[in-house]
Amino acid sequence: MIHEVIANSADFGRAVRLSRKARGLSQRALAEQCGCSQRFISELERGKQTAELGKAIHVLAVLGVMLCAEITDARTTASEAVDVVTRRVAKSLSGARSHVSLSDYL
């Protein structure tokens, strides 16, 4: 298991690239599995901040990568936790300073 702290879109892209290479996939092969273009994978890996969140999360799912948010308030509901993760991922893709923990099960 690998844990990565994602503070910006470049970190997110690096995590995607590491996961893809660990699985022996080319950008083209990953794109085919995800139903997106090789260009999208390339831009995502380079940390391009205009990458669509839904597509980016789908790429992670295809790679078997799980996003985890650290919730410190035990009273947080599951729905609130999902909202927190969604906001943090969106911020990391837009280059804002927010941390998202990425667990990649190899």
Q: Which domains does the chain have, with CATH numbers?
A: 2-104 (1.10.260.40)
Mean pLDDT (whole number) for 2-19: 79
2: part of which helix (H) or strand (E)?
strand 2-6
Its pTM stands at: 0.58
* CA distance linking residue 83 with residue 63, whole number of Å: 22
Lowest-pLDDT choice from 3-17, 50-64, 73-87: 73-87
Name the band, by pLDDT with cuts 50, 70 and 90, for residue 77.
Answer: low
Name the band, by pLDDT with cuts 50, 70 and 90, for residue 3.
Answer: low
Better pLDDT: 99 or 52:
52
Q: Which two tokens stand for residue 35?
A: 């139903």
Q: With 60 as the cut, is the pLDDT of residue 104 above it?
A: no
* CA distance linking residue 22 with residue 44, whole number of Å: 17
Q: Which two tokens stand for residue 6?
A: 């994602």
Q: With 60 as the cut, is the pLDDT of residue 14 above it?
A: yes
Taken as a whole, the chain contains a residue count of 106
Q: With 70 as the cut, is the pLDDT of residue 38 above it?
A: yes
